[in-house]
Amino acid sequence: MAQDDSGSSELAETSSTAVEHPVEDHRLGDPGTAIVVADAPVNPGFPAHRPRLTDTDPKQNRRAERTVFTLFYLSIAGSVWAIAAYLAFPIESGNLADVRTSTLFIGLGMVLALLGIGIGAVHWAKQLMNDHEGIDIRHGVAGSEETRERAIEIFEEANEESGFGRRTLIRNSLIGALVAFPLPAVVLFRGLAPQNVDPIKELKHTMWAKGTRLTKDPTGLPILASDVTIGSVFHVIPDGLNDREDALEQKATAAVLLMRLRPEDLHVSPARKDWNYHGIVAYSKICTHVGCPVALYEQQTHHLLCPCHQSQFDITHEARVIFGPAGRPLPQLPITVDDQGYLVAQSDFHEPVGPSFWERNS
Amino acid sequence: MAKLNQPTTSGRSTSRKRKTGRRSPLATFALIAIGLGLTGGVYAAANATPSASADTASSTQQQVSDGEHLFQANCASCHGMNAVGTAAAPSLIGVGAAAVDFQVGTGRMPMAMDGPQAEEKTPQFTDAQTKELAAYVASLAPGPAIPDAQYLTGNTDAAAGAQLFRINCAMCHNVAGAGGALTEGKFAPPLKGVTPAHIYEAMLTGPQNMPVFNDRNITPEQKSDIISYLTYLEKNPSPGGFALGDLGPVAEGLFLWIFGLGSIVGLAVWITAKSN
């Protein structure tokens, strides 16, 4: 079955020393207990050994040898190239084109160096190294009887000498210490979460409050109602956001898109009658699907498109969903103007912004 | 040109329908039509190269009246005789010279055909004619003017422009200005190769479905910074090599899945194959 001498001798050795799984049993089955199938699949063994071209033709053999050492020499050349490229293409100018050239040529050298070694080694193994097939029979993993007895002996001796089984107070206190050891990590990780706040309340409220001015992102300058011409879009943050330490967290919920439509294009429900100011409307920029920023506003169709999953909101109908996976309209921010003509919020959003969460009622 | 092209396309479709090896009797006609179409196309393309550019001084009465004639000959069928608009197209009263220079200068107007949006094509009018049209429309009512050259230099604060671009423009036009899809066949066009004046005018006037970014929203200096950012993007190559259209994870992921994993599979097959 095995095609070469070393394979058969190894096979014989294995069968004589194996304790748990004699090779004969493994291969022939036990006629006493097993169901003997008449047409059991027969191990076909190896296909006939086919000599390679490099085995039969000395010319091919020399050629393969040349190929392999050429690849290794190429690898050396690649390494030298990489060093030379590092010196030849400095990136001191800081110019992006120089960075790219430097990276490109160093990388090409390193690729040549590594691929030369790899392809050369595989080619060597495939063409020139001995290609006989052999079997290594799997053997049992358990040690011999004496080894196992000796191991148990060692454990018992250690238990005896250390008193681990006898001195129960020491043992139990050690177990207690080991259990207590990871506790600080748990407490420290808990400390990373917000402290002393109700996360549900956090999700339900944003930075907007009565009288908060609408300001431009990123400058934080207030917006006059007269600045917002028809067809305009302003990307809005609440006044004072840039001064806060948690500006990014607040922006993630308070970002607003401000648009002006012709008032006759708006279909306003009675409850939201005074939420817009002469056709200027403000909607949360956070998609109600999974919270992407919705800001692709088409000023002719008045559709607002979310780039992540193509939800579309119709601004003329209070941002109702007209396409896509979003489940709810975008929350509207009620706005008005203060005595200086700047746009201000009437209140916070009347519903939580962004995607659904477990405790959300609507 | 358009008339020459028509027999070309019909001739092609008839010859495509015949699956048999024999040459269709229409093939000769199709060949002649294709030849004529190509000759006409090359001639038209050679002729269409822009002629001398006029100076951009303030509009004269001559420009306004020339523009009026051009308007009545080319635009009035949709926009109305005095640019008051019809059912087919909006009124142009008050859109200003900037809107005309953008729409006509980029070839979007006159529209080639009705569609989701007017697409960019080779401008139909010379630069001087565009300016005349702009002068005429601007004379009807005050509106945004063609921007001052001081804002179009492209060498102001590119970093500030990049921040403004990310907040105001990148969601539609892509952070690298590669453009992107909108709803129902509309799209935000790529911004590479657009002249600074046209970028400025687009922000100022909000062509088609693009919102308006007036000077109180994004000041002229900030618009200038945005133009500088786009100029910077155009002048500086991508440090990562092949940009694959700057489209982001889809194009890059597809490339890696096909060529990266493909080469790994190829190597695995080569390593495990028996040599002969």
- Same-domain pairing of A155 and A101: no
- Same-domain pairing of A154 and A212: no
Chain B residue numbers with beta carbons less than 8 Å from the beta carbon of A259 are 211
Query: How far apart are alpha carbons A328 and A311 in whole angstroms?
Result: 10
- Same-domain pairing of B119 and B163: no
Nearest CA in chain B to A100: B239
Shortest distance between the Cα of A78 and any Cα of chain B, in A, equals 20
Domain-located, residue A139: no
**Interface A-B: count of C-beta contacts within 8 A:** 87
- 3-state SS, residue A219: coil
Chain B residue numbers with beta carbons less than 8 Å from the beta carbon of A103 are 239
The percent of residues above 90 in pLDDT, for chain A, comes to 66
For the packed helices B127-140 and B96-105, what is the interaxial angle rounded to 10 degrees? Answer: 150
Query: How far apart are alpha carbons A69 and A75 in whole angstroms?
Result: 10
Domain-located, residue B121: yes
- Same-domain pairing of A283 and A338: yes
Mean local confidence (pLDDT), B12-32: 59
- Same-domain pairing of B160 and B202: yes
Name the band, by pLDDT with cuts 50, 70 and 90, for residue B101. very high
- Same-domain pairing of B127 and B174: no
Greatest Cα pair distance, chain A, in angstroms, is 102
Which residues lie across from B180 on neighbouring strands?
B188
Task: Report yes or no: A45 and A87 within 8 Å, Cβ to Cβ.
Answer: no
Domain-located, residue A351: no
Range of the domain at B122: 61-140
- Distances in whole angstroms, Cα of residue B46 to Cα of each of A13, A106, B52, B142, B171: 88, 45, 15, 38, 38
- Same-domain pairing of A222 and A120: no
Average pLDDT value over all residues in chain B: 83
- 3-state SS, residue B188: strand
Domain-located, residue B20: no
- Same-domain pairing of A116 and A167: no
Shortest distance between the Cα of B63 and any Cα of chain A, in A, equals 30
- Same-domain pairing of A103 and A169: no
Q: Inspect the interface and report whether the beta carbons of A229 and B270 lie closer than 8 Å.
A: no
Domain-located, residue B24: no
Whether the CB of B162 is below 8 Å from some CB of chain A: the reply is no
Whether the CB of B23 is below 8 Å from some CB of chain A: the reply is no
Q: Inspect the interface and report whether the beta carbons of B167 and A307 lie closer than 8 Å.
A: no
Domain-located, residue B69: yes
Q: How many domains does chain A have?
A: 3
Query: How far apart are alpha carbons A209 and A222 in whole angstroms?
Result: 15
Mean local confidence (pLDDT), B81-96: 89
Query: How far apart are alpha carbons B189 and B197 in whole angstroms?
Result: 16
Give yes or no for residue A2 having a pLDDT over 90: no
- Same-domain pairing of A157 and A259: no
Q: How many domains does chain B have?
A: 3
Q: Which of B168, B172, B276 sits opposite A235 (nearest CB)?
A: B168
Whether the CB of A322 is below 8 Å from some CB of chain B: the reply is no
Chain B residue numbers with beta carbons less than 8 Å from the beta carbon of A296 are 171-172, 182, 188
For the packed helices B196-205 and B220-235, what is the interaxial angle rounded to 10 degrees? Answer: 140
Task: Report yes or no: A228 and A280 within 8 Å, Cβ to Cβ.
Answer: yes
- Same-domain pairing of B82 and B100: yes
Cis peptide bond N-terminal to B249, omega within 30:
no
Mean local confidence (pLDDT), A157-172: 91
Domain-located, residue B251: no
- Same-domain pairing of A166 and A216: no
Nearest CA in chain A to B233: A96
Greatest Cα pair distance, chain B, in angstroms, is 87
Domain-located, residue A267: yes
Task: Report yes or no: A310 and A324 within 8 Å, Cβ to Cβ.
Answer: yes
- Same-domain pairing of B173 and B122: no
Range of the domain at A209: 202-345
Task: Report yes or no: A224 and A280 within 8 Å, Cβ to Cβ.
Answer: no
Q: Inspect the interface and report whether the beta carbons of A122 and B168 lie closer than 8 Å.
A: no
Lookup result for tokens 């004619």? B129
List the structure tokens of A51. 């000599």
Give yes or no for residue B150 having a pLDDT over 80: yes
Judge if ipTM > 0.90. no
Chain A residue numbers with beta carbons less than 8 Å from the beta carbon of B178 are none
Which residues lie across from A237 on neighbouring strands?
A215
User: What pLDDT does residue B235 have?
Assistant: 87
- Same-domain pairing of A207 and A331: yes
Whether the CB of B172 is below 8 Å from some CB of chain A: the reply is yes
Domain-located, residue B23: no
- Same-domain pairing of B132 and B158: no
Chain A residue numbers with beta carbons less than 8 Å from the beta carbon of B235 are none
Which of A198-212, B191-205, B235-249 is modeled with the greatest confidence? B191-205
Name the band, by pLDDT with cuts 50, 70 and 90, for residue B37. confident
- Same-domain pairing of A217 and A308: yes
Domain-located, residue B165: yes
Domain-located, residue B39: yes
Q: Inspect the interface and report whether the beta carbons of B271 and A122 lie closer than 8 Å.
A: yes
Phi, psi of B122 (to 5 degrees): -60, 125
Q: What is the pLDDT of residues A16-50, one digit of tens each?
A: 444 444 444 444 555 566 666 778 788 887 778 88
User: What pLDDT does residue B236 have?
Assistant: 82
Mean local confidence (pLDDT), B174-192: 91
- Same-domain pairing of B120 and B67: yes
- 3-state SS, residue B31: helix
What is the CATH number for B203?
1.10.760.10
Residue that terminates a domain, selected from B111, B140, B169? B140
- Same-domain pairing of A179 and A118: no
Read off the DSSP letter of residue A222: B
Q: Inspect the interface and report whether the beta carbons of A224 and B216 lie closer than 8 Å.
A: yes
Q: What is the pLDDT of residues A55-114, one digit of tens each?
A: 889 999 999 999 999 999 999 999 999 999 999 998 888 777 888 889 999 999 999 999
Nearest CA in chain A to B171: A296
- Same-domain pairing of B218 and B166: yes
List the structure tokens of A354. 């962004």
- Same-domain pairing of B125 and B176: no
Whether the CB of B247 is below 8 Å from some CB of chain A: the reply is no
Chain A residue numbers with beta carbons less than 8 Å from the beta carbon of B169 are none
Q: Inspect the interface and report whether the beta carbons of A218 and B167 lie closer than 8 Å.
A: yes
Domain-located, residue A19: yes
Give yes or no for residue A275 having a pLDDT over 90: yes
**Side chain identity at residue A154, one-letter code:** I
Whether the CB of B250 is below 8 Å from some CB of chain A: the reply is no
The contacts of residue B254 (CB under 8 Å, 6+ apart) are none
- Same-domain pairing of A306 and A171: no
Query: How far apart are alpha carbons A318 and A288 in whole angstroms?
Result: 14
- Same-domain pairing of B73 and B7: no
